[in-house]
Structure 1
Amino acid sequence: MGNAQFKGLTIGIPKEIMKGEKRVSATPETVEKMVENGAVVLVEKGAGLNSLMEDVDYEKAGAKIYDDVQEIFNQADIILKVKEPIFNSNLGKHEVDMLRNGQILITFLHPAAPKNHEMIKSLAKSGATSLTLDGIPRISRAQNMDALTSMSTVAGYKSVLLAANKLSKFVPMTGTAVGMIQPAKVVVIGTGVAGLQALSTAKRLGAVVTAIDIRPEALEHAKSLGGKVFDTGVPAEVAIGEGGYAKSLPQEWIIKEREAIRDLIVDADIVIATALVPGKLAPILITEEMVKAMRPGSVIMDVSIDQGGNCELSESGVIAEHHGVTVDGTNNIPGMVASSSTWMFSKNIYNLVAAFVKDGQFIVDREDEIIASTLVTMDGELLHSGAREAMGL
């Protein structure tokens, strides 16, 4: 038997409506934990189907299945989602307009991304308290809540497979009766979690892999996985921000970094671009001039597209050919590997909720480091500093 930590709390699990989104914010396994600990859990009909989980399994776990998602929004104290609220064309209304004052929303909001600014402003007006999972700090007690890391693991892996599929040649060195075919050259920009996973996946496929990062420690990790590493020459004090994340570089250093990496990019068959700065727009590191100089048939996977992208030519949700090079701005790569990503995501979001629920109440303690860095809106105000900065507030 569980404890009564969640007693009195109603938790809502809507079906994700974003195009191509196959994940869901709770599995029968996490629902069972919430119910055992006293929660009432409402799941929208079919919410788990794309992650290969049936309504009957949610019911066995103790959830109530609802046809009408508005009813879930009406009753729930906390709404758990995977992606930010968007317009629900079936109902003819925006998911933000289904929220109410004081209700809690936990999801990936990407509040600094320009495409989300209007939504974030109306989210603040709704009076709902919203927390964004891309704000989870890299501290040890938040590790098991860090959905960004989980999803980056999936994105890094899948991005290499997508790129290999588009490439018109073998990835590994291949011996044939008519001679040796040389391995593909893969360059990974940004060796955080996604980049390291991309690096090891490309190595497993037999590519020659070079890693680029402005943080010495990140390059050490890349080296330990068997990647060649490239030093951009950006000094550590300029490069490293809070929690070991990359800092936003001044423009002169961005230009120097581009010059330093140019030849490496131009010579690559595949570039996996994952460089991000937390809560800010991704830096543009691959210019149109570099793309023009690349070999036709090369592929750029811009994994950082959700925060604007690392390539000047990439467009959100668009796969296009520029100067003979495929530039892939596919959004939401983790959504393509639904079973593994949902399994991790649902545990991350459950651990976050469980850490802050006391006696059936979700405690928004703004002194707590995790809450402080994930809180986006509360009491009608926009509090997220990255979003405020991006909006010029």
Structure 2
Amino acid sequence: MAEETGASAQTTSEEVGDKALLVGVLKEVDPREKRVAATPASVERLLKLGLEVAVESGAGAGAGFEDAAYAEAGARVLPSAEAVWQEADLVIKVRPPMEHPTTGRHEAELARKKQRLISFLWPAQNKALVEQLAAHEMTALAMDAVPRITRAQKLDALSAMSNISGYRAVVEAAFGYGRSLGGQVTAAGRVKPAQVFVIGAGVAGLAAIGAARSLGAQVKAFDTRPVVREQVESMGAQFVPFEFSGETGEGKGGYAKEVSEAYLDAEQQLIGDHCRTSDIVITTALIPGKKAPELITSGAVVGMRRGSVIVDLAAEQGGNCALTERDKTVEHYGVIINGHTDLLSRMALQASELYANTIVNLIEEILGKERVWRLNLEDEIQRGMVVLHEGKLLWPPPSPTIRPGAPAPQKPAAHASAKPEVPSSPWPARIGMLIGLGVLLPIGLFGQRDLVQHLTVFLLACVVGWHVVWNVTPALHTPLMSVTNAISGIILIGGMLLSASGTVGVPVAAILGAVAVLLASINVAGGFLVTQRMLRMFHR
């Protein structure tokens, strides 16, 4: 297999000529996998990009999408996987190509030369598969290798799937627990809330925290990365801190990393102590390209309460619990341990919709405005996802270049002949105060009582209003607008009453009342228009 160093970065154009690029959607051969890489809605998006779509018959049945729905969306339905592989220029899947459990034939054997593939690949764990795809000179992009940068969030299939799996883990735990998660006070007695312990505060862990909290459980969360503490606490959970001789478990890109044996022993001890006081434990700890760390020992399971539940979301990578059995629910020492790896397939409809959207976003990113398949290996996102390019190994990608921030502006050194800065004079403000006193003092001494009272209220309102508005944080500007609308309504009523007072010989009050009515009406109307516009932003 030809290899190419990560230092090379170039733009490669793979135009299809006048023929439209044909995207093939395969049915997953894993009998436990019910997700599909394209939905009827995503097919419509692909067609709008100028592509053609062919779907294997029955590809979306597990997720609730019938062949007729794909045909109605504009896709061609082909009778077999062989037909899709033979016609498609780009094949999209969920799981990596694998051996068919019934026929024994590997999916990669059906691939054509120079074909393209987008799916989860896990190249670090599937080196034999990568070599098999390279033998067909394929171009393969891994959905599990999306860089963790802001611009790539719309392509981040891992985060989308982790969010669903974290939620589903709580549902599975509640089913196995056999009690309500929230506390209650009933005539028959008091029910204590369940104690939930989440290990790993990534996307899946945070989703699990949110789901457990919404069901009324008391939640604690542990993570080797201290930076996630704020996120955990913002969701209403208690963060379990852990420090060990200056060593942390935080790796590159926000992921966890491998740690020393001493660190792991101390970590296992801390986790075991919290497991003993927990009713439900959900583990999500993974290390990219490595076996999942064993965080819950068999001794920790022995110390847990009978009837407790462990849901191990790392079961596919070996599991975080020493007693986890892949794709099984087992019971040891009275503790139920869920090691199923098909939690996403148990929510296949939603998982397929989100995964299909990330696929379309990726294809749209590659096609660009010209609607031509063109891999840009200088782009950080595309370079990070490309595992093979026409059979050449490009994985792992080179480390991203860290661009230094702009230096802080420095004040120029004072020149010997430069004049020293002279502080601003306070005299303009003092003169303004004297003029104000000169105007207000005669009014206070010789003016009418009503005029003095109204003027005093007006000046105090100006001072208070100034401080209130300018000291409000920007996050509260929208509620502040509602308050100002209410105040303007009061001004509107007062101006109308003043205009209709009918004071003889003194039309000044009526004129000022009319001006107040006009200005308050503008403020009220404008405030409602802006509020309506902001509310429309949240409509789907």
Shared fold by TM > 0.5?
yes
Q: Call closer, same or farther: CA 1:6–1:166 in 2, change over 3 Å.
A: farther
- Change over 3 Å in CA distance of 1:53–1:256 after alignment to 2: same
How many residues were matched structurally?
A: 381
Structure 1 residues 361 and 51: alpha-carbon distance in aligned structure 2, compared to 1, 3 A threshold: same
Offset from partner CA, 1:139-185 (integer Å, 9 cap, x none): 11110010101101100001101011011333211223332121111
Q: Go from structure 1 to structure 2 and tell me whether the alpha carbon gap of 1:44 and 1:187 turns closer, same or farther (over 3 Å shift).
A: same
Q: Distance in 1 between matches of 2:378 and 2:261?
A: 34
Seen in structure 2, the aligned counterparts of structure 1 residues 123 and 287 have a Cα distance that, compared at 3 Å, is farther
Aligned to 1:349: 359
Partner SS, residue 376 of structure 1: strand
Alpha-carbon distance change, 194 to 235 in structure 1, aligned in 2, over 3 angstroms: farther
Per the TM alignment, residue 314 of structure 1 is displaced from its structure 2 partner at its CA by: 1.3
The yes-or-no answer on 1:42 pairing with 2:62 is no
Q: Distance in 2 between matches of 1:296 and 1:25?
A: 41
Kept in 2, the 8 Å contact 1:215–1:236? The answer is no
Rounded to whole Å, the distance in 2 between the matches of 1:133 and 1:39 is 20
Q: SS at 2:376's partner residue? A: coil
Match for residue 367 of structure 1 among 375, 378, 390 = 378
Give the equivalent residue in structure 2 for 1:210. 220
SS at match of 1:88: coil
Distance of aligned partners of 1:160 and 1:277 in 2 relative to their CA distance in 1, 3 Å threshold? same
Contact 1:306 1:332 in 2 (8 A): no
Larger relative contact order (Cα-Cα within 8 Å, sequence gap ≥ 6): 1
Sequence identity percentage: 39
TM-aligned CA deviation for residue 251 of structure 1 = 2.7
For the residue of structure 2 that corresponds to 1:87, the secondary structure is: coil
User: Which residue number corresponds to residue 254 of structure 2?
Assistant: 244
User: Please, which of 186, 203, 206 is the counterpart of residue 196 of structure 1?
Assistant: 206
The structure whose residues are more often strand, as a share, is 1
| Residue in structure 1 matched with residue 292 of structure 2 by the alignment | 282
Aligned partners of 1:212 and 1:229 also within 8 Å: yes
| Residue in structure 1 matching 2:27, options 12, 15, 23 | 15
SS in 2 for 1:333: coil
Q: Give 1:220's aligned residue.
A: 230
Q: Which runs of 5+ in 1 are unaligned?
A: 387-393
CA positional deviation for 1:23: 1.2
- 8 A contact 1:8–1:360 mirrored in 2: no
Q: Which moved more, 1:147-156 or 1:213-222?
A: 213-222
Amino acid at match of 1:295: R
C-alpha distance in 1, partners of 2:39/2:62? 12
Shift of 1:247: 2.3
SS at match of 1:17: coil
**Comparing both structures, which one devotes a greater share of its residues to helix?**
2
Query: 1:330-358: per-residue Cα shift (whole Å, max 9, x none)?
Result: 11311110111111110011111111125
1:298: Cα distance to partner?
A: 1.2
1:291 to 297, 301, 325: 301
> Mean Cα displacement is larger for which, 252-261 or 376-385?
376-385
C-alpha displacement at 1:234, in angstroms? Answer: 4.6
1:13-92 maps to which residues of 2 (within 5 A)?
A: 13-89=25-101, 91-92=103-104
**8 A Cα contact 2:122 2:144, kept in partner:** yes
User: Counterparts of 1:323 and 1:112 in 2: how far apart (Å)?
Assistant: 35
- 1:391 corresponds to which residue? none
Native 8 Å contact 2:225 2:248 kept in 1: no
2:174 touches 2:181 (CA, 8 Å); kept in 1?
yes
Indicate conservation of the 8 Å contact 1:5/1:37, yes or no.
no
The whole-number CA distance in structure 2 between the counterparts of 1:320 and 1:294 is 15
Q: Structure 1 pair 125/204, CA: closer, same or farther in 2 (3 Å)?
A: same
Which amino acid in structure 2 is aligned with residue 176 of structure 1? T
Paired with 2:393 and 2:262, the residues of 1 have a C-alpha distance of: 32
RMSD over aligned Cα, in angstroms?
2.3
* Residue in structure 2 matched with residue 144 of structure 1 by the alignment: 154
* Residues 373-392 of structure 1 aligned to structure 2 (within 5 Å): 373-385=384-396
TM-score between the two structures when normalised by the length of structure 2: 0.67
Q: 1:118 to 1:288 in 2, by over 3 A?
A: farther
Could you tell me how far apart the structure 1 residues matched to 2:372 and 2:251 are?
A: 34
Contact 2:272 2:297 survives alignment (8 Å): no
Provide the rounded CA distance (Å) in 2 between the counterparts of 1:6 and 1:198. Answer: 49
Distance change (3 Å), C-alpha of 1:6 and 1:152: farther
Select which of 338, 355, 358 maps to 2:348.
338
Counterparts of 1:349 and 1:17 in 2: how far apart (Å)? 19
Structure 2 unaligned residues grouped into runs of 5+: 1-15, 398-540
1:219 offset after TM fit, Å? 2.0
